[in-house]
Structure 1
């Protein structure tokens, strides 16, 4: 997330999650994921978000995810002001480490590159800052 306006984790009870998704390292994802895989991660995040009272919709998450990373879970922004300050935005929703830690949702991975953890933390940040990820239509 951008430091100035942007700075935005599922093994929850009842959530069917594949071990590979939750424990994946950045090397496990080298390029943009398929539409089906992205939908899977968003749906897992939505289950956690619902359990934790974090608002957001599939459409709002997908729109922001595609704008931020084009669906690449290992995307790293190496050129903006955050990167120049040594804290590049990372993952599907382009979250910086301090924001990921601050808005991490318990029960999700602590790995910023984990798709579900990244989406859920970003949505938690957006909920606190803008009311919902659905209200975010530009870099946040």
Structure 2
């Protein structure tokens, strides 16, 4: 990707292509995000930094650990209810994904770990709960 400033074109560090790429040698999936080289803001699937509007973004790999900030149960366009969650990753960016398990069993504040970087049907990241939900052992 190139940024044109006047008559001079220069390469921009990082692009949104390949943001969800498999790890090398088929060892599972990895989640990639961008970080602004000017202000250090972490973001997911952006062309410009939402803070400083910078276009120089470098791609980094997430550790895959996060916290559910919001979760909703959807009943439309699907034969069964499913959840859609906003997950704040440890690196500081927020993304939309699905948490495995009963849709009503996912709550704000739950810790999650990346399970699959790209769901084959919906194309969104899939997470699993890090801690067993209350009542799982009763």
TM range (shorter): under 0.3
Bigger share in strand? 2
Higher RCO, 1 or 2 (CA under 8 Å, sep at least 6)? 1
**Normalised by the size of structure 2, how large is the TM-score?**
0.22
